[in-house]
Amino acid sequence: MKKFKIFILLLSVAFIGCHNQNRNPEGEVKFTSKDTASSILSYEFKDSSDSESTEMADSLLPTRLLTEGVFHNDEVWPKAANEEWFGLFQNQQGYYLAKTKLKLTQVNDPISEEDNLSGWQVKTASKDTSLVLIKTMNYLTPRKIQKIEVPKSNVYPQDTLKLNYMGNNYQIYATGQKIKLSDQPDIYEVKNYKLFITTRIHGKIRKTLLVSVEEFNDTMISILFVGDMDGDGILDLLLDTSNHYNSERTTLYLSKPANNNELLMLVGKHTILGC
């Protein structure tokens, strides 16, 4: 039975064993927009072992994402080192967005049985900690960013997070079924999950469906960062939208490219597989 635990300590241990921060689920993205990839606002994950389909789905979005670490061969593209990037960094003074250079080095894949340099190590020139690397977009400029603290990183069905930024009240909430298993009181099964964000901008309510997942395999959607990354006074989101315990999917939503009826727009993601 597919289910997830509220406390998933074993997940962290599994990823440490791979010596990286991998984020590539066994999933395929189903786009629900009728327009081009740049107007995608919601998507649904399906179980799949086709990593090429996942990589293609990533590449169809308006921008590309990476993180620092060691990855499998198909999770990094060699030309990334020659492209222009922004990094969301953290230091003692706080969080900031800045241009950065990437250094890619071919290394041994941590789960490969052969010494064949089939993996990739991604680093930046900065000594500060990076949360995500974003291929340059017109919406981004170097700037300091205020991180908005959230009371918890997971939003389960019927949960609501209430946030305030620059006088606007936001709600991040989820729908779906959260089923408590009688024989295991601390374990739940979640189905038909949908995560939304809403607020009122200039008197008009705006709402965006962020994620739609039919079921999970021992994991849960996580909020990684909340803050105004594109500088328009509206909160943006960085989530881990994986639905599989052996993967992570870093996903970025920005407000500037969203249309008048939406609050945020999905602009990029990086999906990687663990061990």
Give 86: exposed, middle or buried? Use CB within 10 Å, 0-12, 13-18, 19+. Answer: buried
Integer Cα distance of 127 and 143 in angstroms = 17
pTM: predicted TM-score of the whole model, two decimal places: 0.80
The series of mean pLDDT values per 10 residues for the chain, 275 residues long, is 36 37 32 33 40 65 94 90 96 97 88 75 94 95 97 95 96 94 78 97 94 93 98 97 93 94 95 82
DSSP string, 40-60: ---EEEEE---HHHHHHHHHT
DSSP 244: B
What pLDDT does residue 59 have? 77
User: In total, how many domains does the chain have?
Assistant: 1
Integer Cα distance of 26 and 243 in angstroms = 9
Domain that holds residue 160: 4-273
